[in-house]
A and B are shown apart, each in its own frame.
Chain A
């Protein structure tokens, strides 16, 4: 399989790899996928008092496209409000990375990871989570 230049770039130079404190109030964590399916993404966001995502970190178990998709979304969510971030669509990710059809599920997983992280943050802050991570 040949990968797009952008996928290769994110794979070789992944942005924002790392971990944040799960328990911290300003951190929201999304853990999606399953080891048995060969993909697990963990996306963490740090939200400022103004409701804007200040920082994002990821760790991913998966193929190059999964790593690239999660690396890309850490860049995209930074500086966005939670609402703006939750509007990121898997199709945007797939298009940006030129993912082939068999790799679309990687972008779907990345979108799920954003939503799961936002939900986790909102739950911590007593807001009803408004979307279910699938």
Chain B
């Protein structure tokens, strides 16, 4: 069996986005046409039908994280959810507590939101991470004060796929009466999540990372004990006043269905993906010298590998594997020459960070595709290493660090 790459590259970028599951699309379609009602219309059947669909979807979203459907607010996506959670809590409690703790490897939308709050006078602590990408719980404890209103730690990292110790973080927060927010965009449907067991107070959810549609997400906001947030979008008072604006029933239904499928299939799917992940990683290790996995291997979702192929620059490598859709840890693709801040936070040296690829696999990735991609990457790394002065030096036993490089 081969892989047809004549038309489209093999998709290995599941942390960027996922295709919408056809089963999701199917349940969405009627809400664009015959069931087009405004879910906030209270006076006729069109509105009631749409409202019922939205509430069913809310229940499906709540179910996958062990929440009550009244605790789910629909948003436009995880970026909005993160903004609403962090700014919302910060602004509501600002007279009592003004300190927030987050982590340097968070998604830009969390870091940028925190920077914004810093300008408004909030104090932010940015925790570092250990070499494996996980936070040090003692550091978290030490950073906590009686002014700490919120801890925001992502459940699964988007670049390196590592899973943070949510339950332990939740315990620490609860003991300090600090709210715990987690950006779970990459975690929902990939790892078991339970807001009660993990003491999570706010959780951001994304539709398009879990085979649902783009343009929708959700925020879980705990009701007991109650978490209060200041709305960031004002208007008709929808979503219990926390997020005004007419809901998009088709998108809500899509997110709900995506959660339902993910919940049902997670265990089996994780096993399949874990086999593919390990197959790929083992082949890299066996067939190429000097390859390094970024982030913990065990505490990691099975759909992610982030690998440094020493002596081969990531963007150069991507050009050689145009038939694979992957993402590079080398930020040469953007205007800046800085490599990934996440890899740098793990202590990955810059020269190694420049040689990294993120490989994301998921529901529609086949064994054939994984084999094909692995073959292609190995072949191209070998070709480019033959062209790399650094590889030659390493083979001659020259320590690259002993050379005086002219940084440019």
Residues A11-56 near B (CB distance < 8 A): 11, 14, 17, 19, 31-42
Q: Does A122 contact B (CB under 8 A)?
A: no
Q: Which of B333, B386, B390, B407 contacts A17 (CB 8 A)?
A: B386
Contact flags B370-400 to A (C-beta < 8 A → 1, else 0)? 0000000000000000111111100000001
Complex interface: chain B residues within 8 A of A108 (CB): 408
Residues B327-370 near A (CB distance < 8 A): 330, 332-333, 335, 337, 339, 349-351, 354
Complex interface: chain B residues within 8 A of A8 (CB): 319
B-side interface residues, number (CB < 8 Å) = 31
Complex interface: chain B residues within 8 A of A19 (CB): 392
Complex interface: chain B residues within 8 A of A32 (CB): 406
Within the complex, the shortest CB–CB distance from A29 to chain B, in Å, comes to: 10
Complex interface: chain B residues within 8 A of A105 (CB): 337, 408
With contacts A35-B400, A35-B405, A38-B337 taken as known, whether A59 is within 8 angstroms of B389 at the C-beta atoms is yes
Q: How far is the CA of A14 from the CA of B360 in the complex (A)?
A: 30
Q: Evaluate contact between B350 and A36: CB separation under 8 angstroms.
A: yes
Complex interface: chain B residues within 8 A of A33 (CB): 405-406, 408
Residue of B nearest to A116 (CB): B406
Complex interface: chain B residues within 8 A of A36 (CB): 349-351, 354, 405, 407
Complex interface: chain B residues within 8 A of A93 (CB): none
Residue of B nearest to A36 (CB): B350
* In the complex, the 6 A-B pairs of residues with the closest C-beta atoms, listed nearest first: A35-B351, A34-B405, A36-B350, A42-B389, A59-B389, A38-B354
Q: Can you show 5 pairs from A to B with CB atoms below 8 A apart?
A: A19-B392, A37-B407, A39-B313, A61-B313, A61-B389
Which A residues lie at the B interface, using CB under 8 A?
Answer: 1, 3, 8, 11, 14, 17, 19, 31-42, 59-64, 66-67, 102, 105, 108-109, 133-134
